[in-house]
Structure 1
Amino acid sequence: MNSKIRFGVIGCSSIAMKSAIPAIIDGKNSTLKMIGSRSITKARKFAKKFSCSEFGNYEDVLKNDNVDAVYISLPMNLHEKWAIKAAKSGKHVLCEKSAVLSHNSAKKVIAECKKNNVRIMENFIFKFHPQHKKILELIAKNTIGDIHTISAKYGFNFSHITKNFRFNKKLGGGSLNDVGCYLISACIFIFKDIPVSVCCNLDIDKKSKIDIRGNILLTFPNNKTGLLSFGYDNYFQSTYEIWGTKGIIKSERAFNVTKNMKTVINLFQNDKIKKITIPPANQFQLAIEHFCTTIQKNVITDNFEKDILDQALIMDVIRKASARNSFMKIKS
């Protein structure tokens, strides 16, 4: 294995341009090798911007023997297709969330990755930000006692843009796939378990047919609970709060944290509030570096594949629970 993982990019999205590609370039163990787009003109433009000598279409990226891994940033309905194609080409896969649109899709993708001995990670970068490591340390030290409830909110006022994939049901649009998924991932990350049942209400926009906002109740083993609210037509929120028997931990800015932004954790104990400030960190770069390390050192303790399967299963049941307007159990 080379000293650095060589990345090909599949999809010239705004998140790729603003965050992912710069993080690949600046990463300690990653390097940018090739840019791929449906439009050769756009691929050339991106390549020039990042001083990348190679560009082409998606297939060209997969045919490149000097590419070890691909970063996929496409409309969500295309993730399965190109993740499978990448695996068949022997490329490791870093895929933007939501990586798949169903549990069945997740099983297909994971099976192909295992068959071809490549890793795949869903790019929930928030988990690699130092603030969440600090929060897990506080919980492990029993700082707020036994934790039992997570309340999380993520949403913003996003105008209805017809051409944006987020408002196109066929492309995998909707607030659950786009923002609600973060809150589910955060609950699993903190409770270190998957829920056993779910109740959900998704508010479907009559024009676009996508879920514009939603509320979810997740019930975990040992009577632990996740209370989640998310959506597009909202005053901005990006936070979660962990309630324990002896206190509360709150992340003021949990998810969309820029690399130059300080974050603050509020610790509530004995009617007092302690503010813990975390220095700025590039969570995109930290996530990519971690992914590359697992490939280089063949780290098997990080089960990214199970994470994808669990996430997809839960989201499937959430959709069904909302459609049936009923409480549903999650059977793994």
Structure 2
Amino acid sequence: MTQLRWGLLAAGTIAAEFAAGVDESRHGVLTAVAARSADRARDFATRFEIPKAYGSYEDLLADPDVDAVYVSTPHPMHREWAIAAAEAGKHVLCEKPLTVTAADAEEVIAAARKQDVFLMEAFMYRLHPQTRRLAELVSSGAIGEVRAVDVTFSYDVEDAEVERLGDLALGGGGILDVGCYCTSLARLVAQAALGVDVVEPEEVTGMAKLSASGVDEYATGLLRLPGDILARLSCGFRLAQEDGIHVYGSRGSITVPRPAWIHALRKPVTSQIVMTPHDGAPEVIEIEASQGLFAREADHVATHIGDRQAPELTWAETLANMRTLDRWREAVGYGRPS
């Protein structure tokens, strides 16, 4: 286990959540923050008592006191700065999606491999005990042979965020913003059911409501996964839906009414999984989380620094998910204005 000195590349909302998590972690310390505005970096540093604030990302990457970098820039900038961080010899935790396309993700992974640094895509929900318990139930055969999974992550964004999420140049749209959780979770269920490390869909189809600029405001996807497991996905940033996970098997079903990615479960609270056999009453399984989700993520990176990859979020896992997102966006006509 290593005591990691963290540098934050960008000072937005998600960076603030991660910074609070590092403060609560067992094996991390906040060392520096960088923003495009020096004033913004200083304000952020004051808020979280971070010793160093930089008005450029390059200055932070040149700091010898920074061991690991958390990249939370807009999506299209992930590739550039994750590669720059690796080339500076820094370990990298990069917000999801790792990049905008699978091809870009391959370049980031190649840089991490060449520079021999740790790299992980920040799908923090994968580390939550709820997610781990769901995978255990599926792999144990608790509901028999898995046949279908439904996943929904969809919301109606506040007006202040519409400009960013609706901007094609910024990698906007629901699929990249939250649909990536849906593909990740559906694939995880199939992997647990089949007892394999990584799966990709055999078929991908979908439809979406596209904006005038060509980003998906809300979308549906249908995946045929190995083993004839069908996944139905719903996501969006302009349509409030009831988030949830439903897994259907030959002997019963599993429901996760509040998935680990929702804001309320980022704190160390109790969540639930409901398992319903075809021939019995529902069983409510309570899941205790003893650590905040971002603190858990920071400690997970520290634990696996020497491995260069995290076992639950390997580079192969990231690439499989990125390729699935590419295919879903192609299916709905992403980038072609309505």
TM-score, length of structure 2 as denominator length: 0.90
> Structure 2 vs 1, CA of residues 126 and 294 (structure 1 numbering), >3 Å: closer, same or farther?
same
Question: What residue in structure 1 maps to residue 195 of structure 2?
Answer: none
Select the residue among 50, 62, 77 that pairs with 1:52. 50
Shift of 1:245: 0.8
- SS of the aligned residue for 1:52 comes to coil
* Structure 2 counterpart SS, 1:286: helix
Considering Cα pairs closer than 8 Å and 6+ residues apart, tell me whether 1 or 2 has the greater RCO. Answer: 2
Partner of 1:266: 274
- Cα offset, 1:40, TM superposition: 0.6
Aligned to 1:318: 328
Paired residues of 2:187 and 2:225 also in contact (CA < 8 A): no
Q: Distance in 1 between matches of 2:269 and 2:128?
A: 11
Task: Tell me, in whole angstroms, the C-alpha distance in 1 between the residues paired with 2:266 and 2:25.
Answer: 16
1:252 maps to a residue whose letter is: P
In the TM superposition, what whole-angstrom CA distance separates every residue of 1:247-268 from its partner, at most 9, and x where no partner exists?
Answer: 1111111121230542111111
* Deviation of the 1:304 alpha carbon: 2.3
Give the equivalent residue in structure 2 for 1:33.
31
Measure how far apart 1:161 and its partner are. 3.5
Unaligned runs of 5+ in 2: 192-198
CA contact 1:294–1:302 (8 Å) conserved in 2: no
Amino acid of the structure 1 residue aligned with 2:300: H
**Contact 2:130 2:287 (C-alpha < 8 Å) held by counterparts:** yes
For 1:308, what is the secondary structure of its paired residue? helix
Q: In structure 1, what residue type is equivalent to 2:226?
A: P
Does residue 1:22 correspond to 2:32, yes or no? no
Residues 127/301 of structure 1: CA separation in 2 closer, same or farther (3 Å cut) = closer
Identity of aligned residues (%): 28
Equivalence for 1:328: none
Aligned equivalent of 2:294:
284
Give the Cα separation in 2 of the matches to 1:105 and 1:200: 23
Give aligned pairs, total.
321
1:134 lines up with 2:133 in the alignment: yes
TM-score, normalising length: structure 1: 0.91
Q: Deviations for 1:216-273, whole angstroms, at most 9, x for unmatched residues?
A: 0011111111110111222342211111111111111112123054211111112411
Q: Which of the numbers 188, 199, 220 marks the counterpart of 2:205? A: 199
Q: Which residue of 1 aligns with 2:196?
A: none
Report what 1:123 is aligned to: 122
Q: Distance in 1 between matches of 2:311 and 2:236?
A: 34
Equivalent runs, 1:154-173 vs 2, <5 Å: 154-161=153-160, 164-173=163-172
In structure 1, distance between residues paired with 2:237 and 2:307: 40
1:61 — aligned with what?
60
Q: Is the 8 A contact 2:4 2:302 kept in 1?
A: yes
Q: Tell me how far apart the structure 2 counterparts of residues 134 and 317 of structure 1 sit (CA, whole Å).
A: 29
**Aligned counterparts of 2:62 and 2:220: Cα–Cα separation in 1:** 43
Alpha carbons 2:11, 2:34 under 8 Å: kept: yes
1:161, 1:167 within 8 Å by CA — same for their partners in 2? no
1:94 aligns with 2:102: no
The alpha-carbon deviation at position 298 of structure 1 amounts to 5.5
1:190 partner letter = V
Provide the residue aligned with 1:105 in structure 2: 104
Change in CA separation of 1:163 and 1:273 when aligned onto 2, cut-off 3 Å = closer
Moved more, 95-104 or 291-300: 291-300
- Contact 1:154 1:231 (C-alpha < 8 Å) held by counterparts: yes
SS at match of 2:266: coil
One-letter amino acid matched to 1:305: W
Q: What RMSD in Å do the two structures reach over aligned CA positions? A: 1.9
Which deviates more from structure 2 when the two are superposed, residues 169-178 or residues 191-200?
191-200
